[in-house]
Amino acid sequence: MLVDGTPPTSSSILVLPTILCHLFDACSRGAPPTIQQPSMSSAVALLGQDVDFTCIVNDLGSHMVAFVKADSPPRLLSFDEKVFRRRNKYELKPRIGDLHNEWVLTIKNVQESDRGNYSCQINTEPITLSTGELDVKVPPVVSRSTPAAVEVREGNNVSLTCKADGNPTPTVIWRRQDRQIIRYNGATGFGASVFHGPVLHLTKVSRKHMSEYLCVASNGIPPDESWTVKLLVTFPPLVQAQSETVQASVGSMARMVCTTEAWPRPEMGWEKDGEPVYESNNVAMTHTVSGQYHSVHILEIRNVQSSHFGVYRCVAKNDNGIHHSQVTLNQISHNHFTNSNLIPEGSGMPRGYSEDDEADEEEDNLENQKNDSEEEDSQSPPQLEFYSQARRHESRNAPTTRSELRAIQVDSASFPSLLLITIIYFVYHGF
């Protein structure tokens, strides 16, 4: 401190040597010292580099050289040939060069705090000085105060913030990690694949907004820095049955499937006739996650019994609500099937029989009608045999094998010719 209590300045620091010089008549009587240009050229450094400031002095004589950092108050770094600050930070090379008139100040391992103005000063009256600026380039750094996850209720608005520091000031862009369009207004509103700016505003958020959002900060100084913010959109469950009706026979296997949308992920369960369904040797419940908020839930019943038939519900519940979907398990017979060649009840004509087939058979039968008529007269009407055969089929279960079905088709195929012969017989002999 000075006598008046004011802090010392860069000028006052060098006043004392000047006063002493005049008191003892030790000042040089020659030309006053000067600082040759270019000296103290401004410098740009990357974080961690070393920087040199060079001061070229002519006609120094008995005067002295000092390096000062322009802080408040100013900091004297070196004077004459001595360093007054941390030696691991600053290094002085005095009186070098061909003319031994160069003073070089080295600032090691440059940090952001080293940014500012540095001056080379000579203790003349007034002070002779030259100033250079040090600019430190710093790659972008994303503030860790930026949250890594943000949760919002579906339908509300949300803002995602990415704070980044660096020199120069970084620019920030946003994009979705899944490369989908960023919708600014609702699930189908306008949007873009990239958003420019530190704050991303989303209105009327829907479940389709749920994703990881990547903010990337850059300022031309490598490396860029990125930060991921996960947007979680909460909403009540939505359950949908893959099929509302499932059919199975006793002893077979039945599978009922429900798909669910929900966040947070729901608690899932199955009910039958209002009662919970539990896993057992014959009952298995599985689920798979098929997306950010999608899941598939399967109820599988092996060796189905009569008690298993009924109405099932798959129920999903989370903090936002509860929802269910219904599946009915119906019983079908082992013999339940369809075949286009089966004979409908009450019909004597098999499917697929044409009028051309009937004409061909009529022509063949007319040639032998006399012989056939005598045989037909001694036998019971052929249609009675057919109906008798049909009744036998009706009295038992439907055919279950190919051989049984083929036998019925063969019997029915002979019926048209028998019926035609009978009609011709009665027409010929009279009723």
DSSP string, 262-282: EESPPEEEEEETTEE----SS
Q: Which residues, in sequence order, are bridge partners of residue 3? A: none
Asked if residue 399 has a cis previous peptide bond (ω within 30° of 0), the answer is no
Mean pLDDT in residue range 131-143: 96
Percentage of the residues of the chain whose pLDDT score is greater than 90: 64
pLDDT of residue 430: 57
pLDDT of residue 423: 66
Asked if residue 76 is part of any domain, the answer here is yes
Q: Counting runs of H as helices and runs of E as strands, what totals does the chain give?
A: 6, 28
Asked if residue 65 is part of any domain, the answer here is yes
Q: Does residue 104 sit in the same domain as residue 159? A: no
Q: Among residues 307, 331, 355, which one ends one of the domains? A: 331
Q: How many domains does the chain have?
A: 3
Say how far apart CA 224 and CA 172 lie, in whole Å.
10
Q: Which residues, in sequence order, are bridge partners of residue 35? A: 57
Percentage of the residues of the chain whose pLDDT score is greater than 70: 70
* CATH, residue 283: 2.60.40.10
Q: Does residue 117 sit in the same domain as residue 148? A: no
State residue 125 phi and psi, 5-degree precision. Answer: -125, 105
Q: Does residue 181 sit in the same domain as residue 197? A: yes
Say how far apart CA 112 and CA 134 lie, in whole Å.
10
Note whether 147 and 232 are within 8 A (CB): no
Least confident piece of the model among 226-235, 316-325, 380-389: 380-389
Note whether 151 and 235 are within 8 A (CB): no
Q: Does residue 102 sit in the same domain as residue 47? A: yes
Amino acid identity, position 258: C
Asked if residue 48 is part of any domain, the answer here is yes
Decide: helix, strand or coil at residue 50: coil
Mean pLDDT in residue range 62-69: 96
Asked if residue 197 is part of any domain, the answer here is yes
User: In this predicted model, what pLDDT tens digit does every residue of 28-62 receive, in sequence order?
Assistant: 457 899 999 999 999 999 999 999 999 999 999 99
User: In this predicted model, what pLDDT tens digit does every residue of 355-402 receive, in sequence order?
Assistant: 444 444 454 554 445 444 444 444 444 443 333 343 444 444 445 444
Q: Does residue 107 sit in the same domain as residue 158? A: no
Asked if residue 351 is part of any domain, the answer here is no
Q: Does residue 39 sit in the same domain as residue 133? A: yes
How sure is the predictor about 428, in pLDDT bands with cuts at 50, 70 and 90?
low
Q: Which of 223, 218, 257 is nearest to 240 (CA)?
A: 257
Q: Does residue 194 sit in the same domain as residue 253? A: no
Mean pLDDT in residue range 162-186: 93
Q: Among residues 220, 235, 250, which one ends one of the domains? A: 235
Residue 110's domain comprises 34-137
Note whether 283 and 269 are within 8 A (CB): no
Q: Residue 385 has which token pair?
A: 């045999």
Q: Among residues 185, 201, 235, which one ends one of the domains? A: 235
Say how far apart CA 329 and CA 303 lie, in whole Å.
14
pLDDT of residue 2: 39
The alpha carbon of residue 343 and the mean position of all alpha carbons in its chain are separated, in whole angstroms, by 59
Asked if residue 56 is part of any domain, the answer here is yes
Q: Residue 412 has which token pair?
A: 């029915």
Note whether 257 and 298 are within 8 A (CB): yes
Note whether 17 and 70 are within 8 A (CB): no
Q: Does residue 325 sit in the same domain as residue 265? A: yes
Mean pLDDT in residue range 284-302: 94
pLDDT averaged over the chain?
81
pLDDT of residue 86: 84
How sure is the predictor about 13, in pLDDT bands with cuts at 50, 70 and 90?
low
Say how far apart CA 331 and CA 278 lie, in whole Å.
21
* CB atoms closer than 10 angstroms to residue 275: 9
Cα–Cα distances in angstroms (integers) from residue 130 to residues 33, 71, 74, in the given order: 13, 16, 15
- pTM beyond 0.75: the answer is no
User: In this predicted model, what pLDDT tens digit does every residue of 405-427 receive, in sequence order?
Assistant: 444 444 555 555 666 666 666 65
Q: Does residue 156 sit in the same domain as residue 133? A: no
User: In this predicted model, what pLDDT tens digit does every residue of 184-227 receive, in sequence order?
Assistant: 887 677 889 999 999 999 999 999 999 999 999 999 999 999 99
Q: Does residue 254 sit in the same domain as residue 321? A: yes
Say how far apart CA 192 and CA 195 lie, in whole Å.
7
Q: Does residue 152 sit in the same domain as residue 224? A: yes
Asked if residue 313 is part of any domain, the answer here is yes
Q: Does residue 41 sit in the same domain as residue 130? A: yes
Asked if residue 229 is part of any domain, the answer here is yes
pLDDT of residue 415: 56
Least confident piece of the model among 17-31, 115-129, 131-145, 173-187: 17-31
Indicate the DSSP class of residue 353: -
